[in-house]
């Protein structure tokens, strides 16, 4: 019976100290509320870090993509400056060939210049350069520079009569427009 008496005694004690129990419950509820609030703060912070991480990854991806594009452009158009320096040499060789066809010695010299020009043209063509020689084509201001307009009954208006200097493109980029004389209607 002593066990029964102890149970009854602790039950009575518990009933008498109900205020302590309520205080303990209130304290635990405050702790739960504080932990819940802290959990919400941690969750919000976690979402903030996740967002920052995603933004940093996107920025890194964009930087890598831009860098790759810059490297590709440098590979594709890196020879543009060299080409701009070589074009006057090509012009000089073509002019020299055109103007040295009178004597036999000049013809021999012109043949040597022609071989040099052919080798130079094959080399630049191999590297994506295209020569623009628009004789008898319609004038296109994107690729041609009109030096003058000339009345002509033998050519359609707005067509190219003469190419003064050939133009050049590197891949899809215009390096120099063809300098041309354009036909206009006779008035």
Residues 162 and 100 in one domain: no
Scanning the structure block, which residue is given the tokens 């707005």?
Answer: 158
Nearest to 87 by CA among 126, 146, 135, 131: 131
- The CATH number given to whatever domain includes residue 187 is 2.30.22.10
What is the per-residue pLDDT across 63-109, written as a single tens digit (0 to 9) for each?
999 999 999 888 888 888 889 999 999 999 998 888 877 777 778 88
The residue segments making up the domain with residue 29 are: 2-76
Domain's final residue, options 76, 92, 118: 76
Residues 6 and 71 in one domain: yes
Residues 172 and 155 in one domain: yes
What is the per-residue pLDDT across 85-98, written as a single tens digit (0 to 9) for each?
999 999 999 988 88
Look at residue 41 and tell me whether its pLDDT is greater than 70: yes
Residues 83 and 36 in one domain: no
What is the per-residue pLDDT across 115-169, written as a single tens digit (0 to 9) for each?
999 999 999 999 889 999 999 899 999 999 999 999 988 889 999 999 999 999 9
- Average pLDDT on 5-25 reads 62
Q: State the Cα–Cα distance between residues 11 and 17, nearest whole angstrom.
A: 10
Look at residue 9 and tell me whether its pLDDT is greater than 70: no
Q: Long-range contact list for 4-11, CB < 8 A, 24+ apart?
A: none
Q: State the Cα–Cα distance between residues 18 and 72, nearest whole angstrom.
A: 80
Q: State the Cα–Cα distance between residues 118 and 171, nearest whole angstrom.
A: 20
Q: State the Cα–Cα distance between residues 122 and 37, nearest whole angstrom.
A: 76
Look at residue 13 and tell me whether its pLDDT is greater than 80: no
Residues 16 and 59 in one domain: yes
Residues 40 and 102 in one domain: no
Question: Could you tell me which residues come within 8 angstroms of residue 121 by beta carbon, excluding any fewer than 6 positions away?
Answer: 90, 131
Strands of the 144-151 sheet, one edge to the other: 144-151, 178-184, 160-165
Predicted confidence at residue 47, as pLDDT, reads 93
Residues 24 and 49 in one domain: yes
Residues 156 and 167 in one domain: yes
Domain count, the chain: 3
């Amino acid at each position: 019976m002593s066990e029964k008496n102890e149970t009854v005694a602790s039950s009575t004690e518990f009933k008498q100290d109900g205020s302590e129990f309520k205080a303990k419950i209130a304290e635990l509820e405050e702790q739960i509320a504080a932990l819940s609030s802290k959990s919400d703060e941690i969750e919000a912070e976690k979402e903030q870090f996740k967002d920052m991480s995603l933004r940093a990854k996107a920025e890194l991806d964009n930087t890598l993509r831009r860098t790759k594009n810059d490297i590709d452009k440098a590979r594709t158009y890196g020879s543009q400056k060299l080409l701009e320096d070589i074009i006057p040499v090509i012009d000089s060789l073509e002019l020299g060939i055109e103007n040295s066809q009178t004597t036999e010695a000049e013809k021999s010299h012109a043949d040597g210049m022609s071989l040099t020009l052919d080798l130079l043209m094959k080399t630049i063509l191999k590297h994506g350069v295209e020569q623009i020689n628009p004789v008898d084509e319609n004038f296109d201001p994107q690729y041609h520079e009109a030096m003058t307009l000339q009345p002509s009954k033998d050519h359609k208006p707005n067509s190219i009569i003469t190419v003064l200097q050939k133009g050049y493109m590197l891949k899809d980029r215009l390096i120099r427009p063809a300098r041309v004389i354009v036909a206009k209607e006779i008035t």
